[in-house]
Each structure stands twice: as C-alpha cells, then as structure tokens.
A and B are shown apart, each in its own frame.
Chain A
C-alpha cells in the first residue's frame, strides 16, 4: 500500500473485505437512516407555510421543532446499529488476529 494513488475500489474493500462483508448491510442501513434527517430539514419549500397551525404555532416553526425529535430518533437508531456493526467488525477481526493486518 505504499502506492500514493488510492485503490480504485471502495477503500475498505481491499483490506477488510472479509470482515466488512458481514456488516456492510448494517453500515448502508445507517446511512439510509441518517439521510432523511439531513435532507428534510433542508427542504425548505416543504414546510415554509403558516398552516396548519398547532396550538398557535405556525407550521413553519412547529414542524422544524418536530424535526429535532425526528432527527434525534434517527441518530439514536443509527447509533444503536453502529454499536452492533462495530461489535461484529471487532469479532470478525478477532478471528483473523495473529495473521497480521490484512493488506500489509
């Protein structure tokens, strides 16, 4: 890996193909869960209106406050999944310990 150019394939594929294979789906799920928490708050036309009001709050304001709760739920779920994925990665790595780091 002393080549200065990056590998053409996704970076982790080359060195950790085996251990990442188990958790690739989980890491993709984490990204999929987080994307709406980034995209929806930035999609201003979606919520830039007064009605429907909630308890006197214009939609614009209560929707964004609600988005905080939504985004928090997303990050909490993603965090939980990341713990599982990390543990599986660790186990997979433990199994191959003693052979040195793959790719060196």
Chain B
C-alpha cells in the first residue's frame, strides 16, 4: 500500500464521483423522473460530446487491463484487438448510416424496435432485446474486473481465506457504479467522459513514451518478451506437450491464424450490435456524423495497440503477478513499480474511471431495452413516464448484479473471455439486424429459429471449453475446433453464426414454400437513405413515442 498513490487515486475518484452526481443538474434538466432524461441525457448532445461518449464506450478496462494481460500471458492471439478495432470502423461506416436513417424516420430507439418494424414479429424483437441485455452483462463484468485489479494492486483486499475479504475491491467497485448511475443516468458518464479521456490520454502517452525508453526501447522489449516465452516453453516442455499448460508465444503460429482473424472480425461485427453502441449511434445528429466518427475514431486504435504492447513492457520490466498468476494485474503492477507514486495514483484513477464510465453507459442501454421492448411491449402497455423511468433504474441495477454474477462465477484467468462470451451471443442478432438493413429475404420465423440455434449452439460450445489444465471446468476460452479440423480453432461466435445462418436460410425457403405469412414491413426502401432535413425524419428520437409507420 502506497499512501501517496492511494491519496491521489481517492482524490481523483471522489472528484469524478462528485461530478457524476452534479451531472444530474447539468444543462438544467428539470427532472430525471422520465426515461428520456435519465436514459438519453436529454438528447441534447452535439457531435463533440458524442465523440467523447463513443470513445468512452470503446476504450475501457478491455484496453487497459484485459488486452495487455493476454499479451503478458503469452497468449499468441492477444493482439487481435488491433485488427478488430481497424476493421470495425469501415464496417460501421457502411452499415450504421442505414440504421440511423430508418430509425429516425420511424422513431426506432433500439435494435429491437427496428426488427419489430421490419419483420412485424414481436417474438423476434423480444429475442433481440433479451440477447442485448444478456450479452451486455459479461461486458460490464469485464469492467468490474478492471476496477477490481486496480484496487487489488493498491493493497485493498489482501490475500485472505475469506472470499468476502478477497472480493472487497469488487464490491466497492460495484457499489460506486450502481450508486452513481442510479442517481444521474447518462449525464453522469457524459460529463465524466471528459475527465476520463484527459486522464487516460495523459497516462497512455506517458506510459507508451516513458516506459519503453526507460526499459531500453521497443526492440529490447520485444526481445525480452521472446526470451521470457522461450524460457517458459523450455521449462514446461513436458506439461505443454501433455496439454496441461498452454505454450507461450508473441505471434500466432500458422494454426492459430483462423482464430486470430475470426476473433477480430467477430468482435468488430459484435461491437456495433451492443445496445450501448446503438444508443450512441442513434443519438448523433445525422448520417454524416456517423461517417465522420468512423473516420476519426481510429486515432484511438493506435493508442490501443501501444497499450496492448504494455503487456510485453511488463515482462521486460520483470513484473510478477502472484502465484497462481493473475495476468490481469500486470499493467496496474507495472505502473506501481515504474511510475513515481503520485503518478501511479493518477494512472490507477484513469483505469478505474475508464472502466466505470462504459459500465454505466452499458447498463443504462441494457436497462432501456428492458423498459421499452419487454416491460412496455409485453407487461404494461400503458405505463406512465414515471413508471418507465423507475423500471429503467431498477433494470440497470439488475443488469449490474448480473455482471457481478459473471465476475464471481467465471474464471478471471483471462478477463477478455468475458467480453468474447458476450460477443458469441450478440452476434446471433446479426442476421435480423444487419442483413435486415439490406433485404427482407429472411423469413421472420426462420430468423427466430436461427437465432435460437445460434444461441444454444454457441453457449454449448463455450460451456464445453475447459480451462487449460482443468478438464472439468467450463467457459475456459473463446475458441473451439473447426468441425472436421484436427488442430485449427476458430472463435465460437463465428461457428454459431454459421449455424444460425444455415438454419435461417433453409427455413426461409421452407416457410416461403409453405406460404406462412411474412407480416407487414413498416419500412420502405427510401427509408434507408433518409437524412436530416428529409420529409418525416426526426432530428431527435423520442424514447417515449411509439415507433410509427
């Protein structure tokens, strides 16, 4: 425990928390007692704030903790996060303006609204909504792990036999997150995003410029990582051959290239189907802003790549992460060892706040999905504004509890696996949402069946993956063997999506041949090109209003 680091951390964290509560009063919101104010921050955000908000969504504990941890641990495919964030933006550029247009013409606020309007199918919309809520939970869990490891490195929650004492940092993280989103909705993360991004940029720039030069330059760092991995592989040659311990490597061997590419593509496709991404995209002012953001956001990717490589920097710096090792601690421990203690405090605050903000945004988006597409669509159609806001607040707490369950129940060996599990699920909504933007060829019931098959198959595959060295364990990783292949593995989400699509195609043909009613499409081809200023295009979406024709 370092008093200076802890003081700086606590100061910055309190500052942010106070800002979070003050945010409730920002820009003269009259009341937060309706879903509009609480869930979309009053809808008044310009593109500048939106840019910060989207950055807050994307660069998180995932970037700071989970990705560097996989490189530190010598998982050969860990750097996939870089191609993931490269290909995500051209994909966003192509798909999301269409979603913006159709949503703004028909008043769709969530992907489930769009699916219901497009396919005239409440069950399918329900499936989309449930998937969004479910998939968000492990993603939030990853953020909680991020906060937890910072508190851990600072000396909170020392080794103890009691699971409760050991997990105190987790519960503290959870309590702060829950308290401040409950009181001030999306305004809190928006305002905090400024503080967070400034903190994060300072920390990243110092980390990627100062640390490598202090440790002998990038060339030396790569060599040190390679030497360390070679040493490990030699020492554990027998265990690796027996499959008890995975070998370590910097780069994917040829057999892992499919895994690398599928993790990158799967994550990129999944990214913009999460409820919080859709909320962010739909809150932009016009189609053009989406494209401009897609052109500018890669600036963050460069930092993500350098941050990922801090995993190797930690190896070169001789950081050790306990026994049994917890690679998630690598980056906070690196900061603790190498930075002056006051700056370590700043860095810890950046990581913790950088996890808090997206966790808040994600839980709010998932909560809105519950209120709009489940509560109001199925449970209480004539709900008042106050009832809706209440539902959202409670649902956002429930989602966070769900995330807590994921943290406690699943292995934290690689926190990134939590996010990748969410990806397996959310990707199953792709045929309905993304393909639906282009064509209504799929039959609604075929899409629902494909979704169900993809969800079950994907979950089963993930369940069957044991942790290395523990054959009885489950949910141990994101990869599985390609059927028929002996050694080549692939991201489970991709395999489940193929099953999903096959079922959807076959059943579409069958159902159409049987002339099963296809429902009425609310949308017109023109709607997918509409822009601000066109007839019937709403500049801002009203989350209360029903979607219309």
Q: Which residue numbers of A lie inside 8 Å of B, CB to CB?
A: 1-2, 4-7, 11-12, 14-16, 31, 34-35, 37-38, 41-45, 48-50, 53, 55-58, 60-61, 64-65, 67-69, 71-72, 74-76, 78-79, 82-83, 86, 89-90, 93, 101-104
Q: Which residues of A contact B302 (CB under 8 A)?
A: 65, 68-69
Whether B520 lies near A2 (C-beta < 8 A) is yes
A37 touches B86 (CB 8 A): yes
Bound complex: CA A74 to CA B298 (Å): 11
Knowing A2-B520, A41-B264, A83-B288, the reply to whether A58 touches B222 (Cβ < 8 A) is yes
B250 contacts which chain A residues (CB < 8 A)? 58, 60
Q: B261 touching A44 by the CB < 8 A rule?
A: yes
From B222, B288, B526, B531, A56 is in contact (CB under 8 Å) with B222
Query: Is B251 on the interface with A (CB-CB < 8 A)?
Result: yes
B1 within 8 Å of A (CB atoms)? no
Q: How far is the CA of A55 from the CA of B221 in the complex (A)?
A: 12
B residues 195-229 in Cβ contact with A at 8 Å: 217-220, 222-223
A71 to chain B, nearest CB (A): 5
CB atoms of A79 and B87 under 8 A apart: no
Name which residue of chain A comes closest to B306, CB basis.
A65
Q: How far is the CA of A77 from the CA of B522 in the complex (A)?
A: 34
A16 adjacent to B252 (CB under 8 Å): no
Determine the distance from Cα of A7 to Cα of B265 in the docked complex, in whole angstroms: 30
On whether the beta carbons of B305 and A86 are closer than 8 Å, the reply is no
Residues in A neighbouring B82, C-beta threshold 8 A: 41, 64-65, 67-68
Asked if A44 contacts B257 (CB within 8 A), the reply is yes
Assess whether B381 is interfacial by the CB under 8 Å rule.
no
Residues of B within 8 A of A49 (CB): 251
Kindly list chain A residues whose C-beta atoms are within 8 Å of the C-beta of B519.
Answer: 4
- Measured CB to CB, the nearest residue on chain A to B438 is A11
For residue A70, which residue of chain B has the nearest CB?
B86
Q: Is the CB of B528 within 8 A of A86?
A: no
Asked if A15 contacts B526 (CB within 8 A), the reply is: yes
B200 to chain A, nearest CB (A): 18
Q: Which of B91, B217, B294, B301 contacts A68 (CB 8 A)?
A: B301
The answer to whether A71 and B86 touch across the interface, beta carbons within 8 angstroms, is yes
Closest 7 CB pairs of A and B: A56-B219, A11-B525, A41-B83, A44-B257, A75-B295, A34-B90, A79-B295
Tell me if B521 is interfacial: C-beta within 8 Å of chain A.
yes
Question: What are the residues of chain A within 8 A of B218 when measuring CB–CB?
Answer: 55-57
Mask, B528-541, CB within 8 Å of A = 1, is: 11010111000000
Residues of B within 8 Å of A43, CB to CB, are 261
Flag whether B30 is at the interface (Cβ < 8 A): no
Contacts of A69 in B (CB 8 A): 302
Which of B78-114 touch A at CB < 8 Å?
79, 82-83, 85-87, 89-91, 93-94
A42-B83, A75-B93 as given contacts; A48 in contact with B257, CB under 8 Å: yes
Do residues B524 and A72 form an inter-chain contact, with CB atoms below 8 A? no
CA A81 to CA B268, docked complex, whole Å: 24
B441 at the interface (CB under 8 A from A): yes
Identify A34's interface contact among B93, B438, B440, B531, CB under 8 A.
B93
Write the chain B residue with the least CB distance to A82: B291
Name the CB-closest residue of A to B259. A44
In the complex formed, the residue of A with least CB distance to B216 is A56
Chain A residues lying within 8 Å of B287, measured Cβ to Cβ, are 86
- Besides A71-B90, A72-B299, 12 more A-B contacts (Cβ < 8 Å) are A6-B440, A11-B438, A12-B526, A44-B260, A50-B251, A58-B222, A61-B79, A64-B79, A71-B86, A75-B294, A78-B295, A101-B526
Task: Tell me, in angstroms, the Cα distance from A64 to B309 when the chains sit together.
Answer: 12
- In the complex, what residues of A have CB within 8 A of residue B309's CB? 61
User: In this complex, what residue of B is CB-closest to A58?
Assistant: B222
Nearest B residue to A53, CB-CB? B219
**B93 CB contacts on chain A under 8 angstroms:** 34, 75, 78-79
